[in-house]
Amino acid sequence: MRYCSNCGREVDRKVPAGDTLPRFVCESCGTVHYQNPKMVVGTLPVFENRILLARRAIEPRRGLWTLPAGFMENNETTGEAALRETREEVGAEVELGMLFSLVNIAHISQVHMFYLARMSSEAFAPGVESLEARLFAEEDLPWNEMAFRSSTLTLRHFLDDRRARQFRVHLEDLAAGSRH
């Protein structure tokens, strides 16, 4: 960041009074520009024991499979973001279940959250950010073509929990160097 989004003047990187971390600070108007992690929110949509995935039409990882998810927008809840992203990426209407997976990816300043979701019908279609959308049985999941480790971890936890017939919230911290 070079310029203040409040007044347009140049900013300096320094530790503001009363803070402990360096921030972009505008000496002209006094605005402190905080940079916070991005929230990626999505669902694990299920219809009749099959899981709905999207094949990405955009970078990063174009052509690979993922759970429907994306960046949370201002003025929406995590649940609203999950529903919106599911509609946008795979054209599916779902009923949200519990928050199932929370993956911290500190080295890229992201937090990925996935809700369990039940599809009431088999209606779905790829959105503009997806090359295709497809329902997969467990034995057909494209493990070697997954775009993000957060989706892979979430899928593995889901399958384990489904076999155990007990679902719980899963928390993960992904280290630098791992495919997020």
CATH number at residue 157: 3.90.79.10
Q: Give the domain range for residue 7.
A: 1-35
Shared domain check, 31 and 42: no
**SS3 label, residue 143:** helix
Residues 148 and 152: their CA atoms lie apart, in Å, by: 7
Taking residues 113-138, what's their average pLDDT?
97
179 within a domain of the structure (yes/no): no
Residues 56 and 171: their CA atoms lie apart, in Å, by: 25
**Residue pointed to by tokens 């347009």:** 8
| φ, ψ (nearest 5 deg) of residue 116 | -70, 145
Shared domain check, 42 and 31: no
Shared domain check, 142 and 54: yes
- Indicate the pTM of the whole model: 0.91
Half-sphere exposure of 99 (CA within 13 A, CB side): 12
143 within a domain of the structure (yes/no): yes
Q: Mind listing the pLDDT tens digit for each residue in 62-119?
A: 999 999 999 999 999 999 999 999 999 999 999 999 999 999 999 999 999 999 999 9
Q: How far is CA 29 from CA 20, 33, 114, 178, in A?
A: 21, 11, 39, 41
98 within a domain of the structure (yes/no): yes
178 within a domain of the structure (yes/no): no
Shared domain check, 25 and 51: no
* Average pLDDT across the chain, whole number: 96
180 within a domain of the structure (yes/no): no
Q: Mind listing the pLDDT tens digit for each residue in 41-66?
A: 999 999 999 999 999 999 999 999 99
77 within a domain of the structure (yes/no): yes
Shared domain check, 133 and 63: yes
Shared domain check, 88 and 3: no
